[in-house]
Amino acid sequence: MRISIRIVFTDPSVVNQVECNMTSVEAGFQFLKKNGLNLISVMNCVDLPARTLKFMQGSGIPIIDYRRLVLIGHGGRCMWQTLKAHGMDSANPIDRYSIFLTQQFISTYLDNAAVLWLYPTLQYVVPLQQLGEFSGWSFPSPLGSGISSEYGVWFAYRAAFLINAELPLTFSTSAPSPCNNCFKKPCVSACPVNAVQVESFALESCIDHRLSLDSPCADRCPARLACPIHPEHRYTLEQIQYHYRCSLAALHDWYGH
Ligand code: B12
Ligand code: SF4
Ligand code: SF4
């Protein structure tokens, strides 16, 4: 999906090394969580897996010039409520809201430190799912999107930036993938075109079906809805339709329908 949000990039050579105040950082996490961005991970750049580092460097991201990568996401229903209360009267309201909150977090709780925005921007391709897996947020699933032991398939990545400060690292408990104990795999049988397979996701079949006339997958994914993990975090139908209509519009743009 194309977004055009103007962001000022920071030259890494003039990045400040920020003294961080643990209490302030924690208060900033609480601020983000209260406003719906309830998944936060602070990673040590040098500890990232080799394939992720390689991908990011190949994408032009000066990862080795920074100390920490901060990944921010939302899980469950809270973000949609806070977003609606904030207002959705703009193009790309979720990206705008995520940037607004993340900028507040940086200015108020990180002493307005210089950062390099990674996402959402059009500047870089960031392997968000690899970062989510490294953070312990998610595991690969037959759906292509990740699955979280806390939120099931109902979470997404909302912002990411690099910072040259010794922010305290976050640690996650490593619960097993929910897919391991899901023997019936209802996501697989619920897909009308067998795009969802245990070992892979047939993206082309999914896209063809979504673009077909009167597709039942135009504004939802029956396979995702069939996942029984953490149904209490399943987005409302309004939110589901919002996301799927956006991605369908992007597919129509790309494929010229
Ligand atoms: C391009 C893209 C798409 C394209 C194509 C997907 C593809 N894999 O090529 C399209 C438009 C089809 C798409 C659709 C959707 N996407 Co998408 N997409 C992306 C995007 C921008 C880039 C993916 C990429 O190439 N990454 C580069 C590689 C190297 O990074 P990676 O982490 O290793 O990539 C992994 C994914 O590509 C994944 N993968 C492989 N096949 C598929 C297929 C699907 C459908 C998905 C979602 C992932 C996936 O496996 C890779 C290896 O780990 C990412 C954001 C991002 N920057 O990662 C979102 C992202 C993968 N999408 C996401 C989502 C939620 C969706 C939708 C469900 C949105 C919606 N509600 O409509 C739909 C899927 C529904 C459907 N059945 O069509 C989320 C997944 C969140 C999660 N929980 O894991 C991401 C991370 C965006 C985000 N902000 O959170 N998407
Ligand atoms: S239905 Fe089962 S296999 Fe499919 S994503 Fe959910 S937990 Fe994983
Ligand atoms: S959107 Fe439809 S075709 Fe695509 S994976 Fe979901 S159920 Fe299958």
Return the structure tokens found at 204: 């082309």
**pLDDT attached to residue 19:** 53
Q: Which helix (H) or strand (E) holds 241?
A: helix 237-255
Q: Which residue has the least CA distance to atom 1 on ligand 3?
A: 221
What atom of ligand 1 comes closest to residue 55's alpha carbon? 29
- What would the pLDDT profile of 233-251 be if each residue is shown by its tens digit? 999 999 999 999 999 999 9
Average pLDDT over residues 79-83: 97
From the CA of 84, how far away is ligand 1's center (Å)?
Answer: 24
pLDDT of the residue at 257: 63
Which one-letter amino acid corresponds to residue 236?
T
Going from the Cα of 212 to the center of ligand 3, the distance in angstroms, rounded, reads 12
pLDDT of residue 228: 98
Q: Does ligand 2 have an atom closer than 6 angstroms to the CB of 141? A: yes
Answer whether residue 9 shows pLDDT above 60: no
Q: Whose CA is nearest to atom 29 of ligand 1?
A: 127
- The end-to-end CA distance of the chain, in Å, is 15
Regarding the beta carbon of 63 and ligand 3, being less than 6 Å apart is answered no
pLDDT, tens only, 184-202: 999 999 999 999 999 999 9
Percent of the chain at pLDDT exceeding 90: 84
Q: How confident is the model at residue 255 (pLDDT cuts 50, 70, 90)?
A: confident
pLDDT score, position 154: 98
**pLDDT 10s digits, 99-133:** 999 999 999 999 999 999 999 988 999 999 999 99
Residue 8: pLDDT over 60: no
Q: Which atom of ligand 3 is nearest to the CA of 222?
A: 7
pTM above 0.95, yes or no: no
Question: How far is CA 236 from each of CA 88, 187, 191, rounded to the nearest angstrom?
Answer: 16, 19, 20
Residue 41 pLDDT grade (very low, low, confident, very high; cuts 50, 70, 90): very high
Cα(9) to centroid(ligand 2), Å: 39
Domain boundaries, the chain: 12-163, 178-255
Q: Is the pLDDT of residue 137 over 60?
A: yes
Residue nearest to atom 50 of ligand 1 (CA): 144
Asked whether 160 and 72 are in contact (CB, 8 A), the reply is yes
Ligand nearest, relative to CA of residue 154: 1
Asked if residues 146 and 177 have their Cβ atoms less than 8 Å apart, the reply is no
Question: In this model, does residue 20 exceed pLDDT 70?
Answer: no
Q: Is the pLDDT of residue 94 over 80?
A: yes
Average pLDDT, the chain: 91
Report the residue among 145, 185, 191 best suited for mutation to probe ligand 3: largest number of ligand atoms under 8 A from its CB: 191
